[in-house]
Structure 1
Amino acid sequence: MLQAAHAARDLEQVKGLCVYFRRNAWRFDPKLRKFNKDICRNDQGGRHCEWEFEAFYDDPLLRQRLDGIFSPGHHTFLVNTSGSGKTKLLFEGLCQRWGFYFTFARDGSRLGPNDLAHIATNLKLKLTEYLPPSSDPQYASLLQANLQMVHNAFGGALLARLFVFKLFLEACSKEGFRQEHRQRWLEAQLLPRNLSNIGDPFNILQLDVRNAEVDGSVIDEAIAQKLEEIQEFWEMPSGEFLYIALDEANVPSRQYLHVFTDEHGAYPLLKAIIRSWQQRLGRLPVRFVVAGTVIPQKYFPATGEWDDWCWSSDTDSFHDPESQRRYVAQFLLPEFEASEDCQVLMQRMWHWLRGRHRFTASFLTLLLANRFESSLFLLRQYIATTTKYAPVDHVEHVSEEVREELDRSISWFSELGSKGLDEGPISRIEMHRAAIAYLTTSKGCLDCETKDRALVTQDYGYFVDTECRRVALDEPLMVTYGAGWLKNSEHPAATTMFKTFESQYPTALRPSHFALFLALSFASYFDGFSNISDAFKIYGGPVLSALAAKLVLFSKKVEGRPEPTDVHFSEHSPKRLVSEAGGAEDMLSWFKHERDEPFCLFQSSPGSSATLAFCLEFQDGQCFWVFVHVPGHFTCEDSPSFAEDIQHASPASLFDEQPEILSLLVELPHLSPDVGPLGVLRVSGSFRVEKASEDSIPSEHQPAAILNIISLEEAGKRISQDMLMRRLARIFSDDTGDSLRDRQPRQLESSSPSRKSGRRKRSAAGSTSTTRVSTRLKSKSQTVNAASGFGSPGPPESKKRRRNNASSPAHTRKRDAGGSGPGTSNIKATARRRLNKITAVATGHASPGVPPSEPPENASRYNLRKRIRLPRP
Structure 2
Amino acid sequence: MIFLTRLLLLEQFLLSSSSSDTMETRRLWLCWQLHSCLLSDDLFKHERALEDAKAICDVENSILDAAIADVLSRVLSSLPSGHLFIVIDDANKGTDPSQTFLALKPPQHVPMLKQILREWRRHTKDLNVTYIVSGVRIELDEFSPKDPVSADFSWFSGTGSFDDLAKQEDYVRQFLPADFADSIDGANFVRRVARFFRGRHTNTAHLMADIVRHGLQNPHGVLTANICRMARLESKMLDGFELPSRYESVIQGYPPYNGVSYKPFVVSTMHDALLIYLAIGDRPLRFYGPQRSLVSLVSAGVGYFVDDDLQEVAIEPAYMLSISSYFQKLNFDMLDPAMFIERARAPHKTARPALALVALTLARVLTAPTRVVFSRRFTFLGSPASWANKRARIICPSTSASWAPYTFEPGKSIIHSADNRKDIGRWFKAGRNVPFCLYKPTTAAPVLLFAVSFEGSKSIWVALSVLLADYSSRIEVLDALRTTLPDDVLKTFTSSSKTSGAVADKKNFLFQLPNRRKKDLGDYSILRVVVPLGARKASHTGYEDYIRGRIDFPAAVMYPQRDHVLADCTARVDDVIARVIDEIPLLEEPGNSSTSSELAEDDSNDQGTPSTTSVPLEDASPVSDQGSLWRRVEESRIWTYANHPVRKAPNSWRTLSVSEVVLPGPVVPPRKRRKVTEDLWVQS
> TM-score if structure 1 supplies the norm length?
0.53
Counterpart for residue 532 of structure 1? 374
CA deviation string 1:40-79 (max 9, x = no partner): xxxxxxxxxxxxxxxxxxxxxxxxxxxxxxxxxxxxxxxx
Whether the 8 Å CA contact 2:448–2:463 is kept in 1: the answer is yes
Counterpart for residue 434 of structure 1? 273
Q: Using the alignment, how far apart are the partners of 2:564 and 2:460 within structure 1?
A: 24
Q: Does 2:185 correspond to 1:355? A: no
Counterpart for residue 610 of structure 1? 446
Q: Using the alignment, how far apart are the partners of 1:306 and 1:608 within structure 2?
A: 50
Q: Using the alignment, how far apart are the partners of 2:533 and 2:109 within structure 1?
A: 42
Q: Partner letter of residue 327 of structure 2?
A: L
Which of 416, 419, 434 lines up with 2:255 in the alignment?
416
1:708 CA drift (Å): 0.5
1:583 CA drift (Å): 3.5
Q: Does 2:5 correspond to 1:157? A: no
CA deviation string 1:620-663 (max 9, x = no partner): 412211001347xx347685732332222234243444455964
1:342 CA drift (Å): 3.2
Q: Using the alignment, how far apart are the partners of 1:724 and 1:207 within structure 2?
A: 48
3-state SS, counterpart of residue 62 of structure 2: helix
Q: Using the alignment, how far apart are the partners of 1:600 and 1:407 within structure 2?
A: 46
Alignment of 1:808-819 (within 5 A): none
**1:340–1:306 CA distance, 2 compared to 1 (3 A):** closer
Whether the 8 Å CA contact 2:108–2:115 is kept in 1: the answer is no
Q: Partner letter of residue 584 of structure 1?
A: R
Q: Using the alignment, how far apart are the partners of 2:99 and 2:380 within structure 1?
A: 59
**1:456–1:297 CA distance, 2 compared to 1 (3 A):** farther
1:389 CA drift (Å): 6.5
CA deviation string 1:690-711 (max 9, x = no partner): 68744367613543233312xx
Q: Using the alignment, how far apart are the partners of 1:210 and 1:414 within structure 2?
A: 27
Q: Using the alignment, how far apart are the partners of 1:446 and 1:699 within structure 2?
A: 37
3-state SS, counterpart of residue 302 of structure 2: coil
Which of 166, 180, 186 lines up with 1:342 in the alignment?
186
Q: Partner letter of residue 219 of structure 1?
A: L
CA deviation string 1:671-724 (max 9, x = no partner): 142245621111234534468744367613543233312xxx222763554555
Which of 519, 525, 546 lines up with 1:695 in the alignment?
546
Gaps of 5+ in 1: 1-155, 398-402, 746-772, 776-786, 791-843, 850-873
1:348 CA drift (Å): 3.6
Which of 337, 342, 351 lines up with 1:502 in the alignment?
342
Q: Using the alignment, how far apart are the partners of 1:297 and 1:321 within structure 2?
A: 24
1:741 CA drift (Å): 9.3
Whether the 8 Å CA contact 2:452–2:459 is kept in 1: the answer is yes
1:277 CA drift (Å): 4.6
Q: Does 2:482 correspond to 1:641? A: no
Alignment of 1:280-429 (within 5 A): 316=160, 318-364=162-208, 372-373=216-217, 376=220, 379-380=223-224, 382-387=226-231, 388=233, 395=240, 406-410=244-248, 416=255, 419=258, 423-425=262-264, 427-429=266-268
Q: Using the alignment, how far apart are the partners of 1:628 and 1:683 within structure 2?
A: 5
Whether the 8 Å CA contact 2:407–2:433 is kept in 1: the answer is no
Counterpart for residue 586 of structure 1? 423
Counterpart for residue 303 of structure 2? 461
1:600 CA drift (Å): 0.9
Q: Using the alignment, how far apart are the partners of 1:392 and 1:203 within structure 2?
A: 42
Q: Using the alignment, how far apart are the partners of 2:212 and 2:73 within structure 1?
A: 48
CA deviation string 1:19-56 (max 9, x = no partner): xxxxxxxxxxxxxxxxxxxxxxxxxxxxxxxxxxxxxx
Which of 597, 600, 612 lines up with 2:437 in the alignment?
600
Which of 608, 622, 626 lines up with 2:458 in the alignment?
622
1:512 CA drift (Å): 1.8
Q: Using the alignment, how far apart are the partners of 2:534 and 2:139 within structure 1?
A: 37
**1:306–1:233 CA distance, 2 compared to 1 (3 A):** closer
Q: Using the alignment, how far apart are the partners of 2:325 and 2:312 within structure 1?
A: 22
Whether the 8 Å CA contact 2:163–2:199 is kept in 1: the answer is yes
Q: Using the alignment, how far apart are the partners of 1:313 and 1:656 within structure 2?
A: 50
3-state SS, counterpart of residue 93 of structure 2: coil
CA deviation string 1:407-460 (max 9, x = no partner): 311577756365467715455334333332332234473656754222244333
3-state SS, counterpart of residue 562 of structure 2: helix
Q: Using the alignment, how far apart are the partners of 2:107 and 2:487 within structure 1?
A: 54
Which of 327, 351, 354 lines up with 1:486 in the alignment?
327
RMSD in angstroms over aligned alpha carbons? 5.7
Q: Does 2:534 correspond to 1:674? A: no
Counterpart for residue 485 of structure 2? 650
Tell me: higher relative CO, structure 1 or 2? Use CA pairs within 8 A at least 6 residues apart: 2
1:551 CA drift (Å): 2.6
Which of 212, 217, 233 lines up with 2:62 in the alignment?
217
Q: Does 2:582 correspond to 1:734? A: yes
Whether the 8 Å CA contact 1:227–1:283 is kept in 2: the answer is no
Whether the 8 Å CA contact 2:414–2:436 is kept in 1: the answer is yes
Counterpart for residue 250 of structure 1? 93
Q: Does 2:385 correspond to 1:543? A: yes
Counterpart for residue 499 of structure 2? none
CA deviation string 1:345-382 (max 9, x = no partner): 44444433433234445445555666544655565555
Aligned sequence identity (%): 20
Paired residues, what number? 578
Whether the 8 Å CA contact 1:267–1:299 is kept in 2: the answer is no
Whether the 8 Å CA contact 1:432–1:495 is kept in 2: the answer is no
Counterpart for residue 598 of structure 2? none
Which of 840, 843, 846 lines up with 2:659 in the alignment?
846
CA deviation string 1:486-533 (max 9, x = no partner): 346743x72443422434359733322222221111111212442434
CA deviation string 1:243-299 (max 9, x = no partner): 662546637959887957999997776676565556656666988766667899999
Whether the 8 Å CA contact 2:399–2:430 is kept in 1: the answer is no
Gaps of 5+ in 2: 496-503, 594-630, 638-656, 663-684
Q: Using the alignment, how far apart are the partners of 2:309 and 2:253 within structure 1?
A: 29
Counterpart for residue 707 of structure 1? 558
Alignment of 1:70-85 (within 5 A): none
**1:487–1:570 CA distance, 2 compared to 1 (3 A):** farther
Counterpart for residue 136 of structure 1? none
3-state SS, counterpart of residue 734 of structure 1: helix
Whether the 8 Å CA contact 2:396–2:434 is kept in 1: the answer is no
Q: Partner letter of residue 448 of structure 2?
A: L
Q: Using the alignment, how far apart are the partners of 1:256 and 1:698 within structure 2?
A: 63
Q: Using the alignment, how far apart are the partners of 1:339 and 1:297 within structure 2?
A: 40
Q: Does 2:317 correspond to 1:476? A: yes
Q: Partner letter of residue 555 of structure 2?
A: A
1:180 CA drift (Å): 11
3-state SS, counterpart of residue 255 of structure 2: coil
Decide which structure has greater helix share: 1
Q: Partner letter of residue 408 of structure 2?
A: F
Q: Using the alignment, how far apart are the partners of 1:209 and 1:582 within structure 2?
A: 58
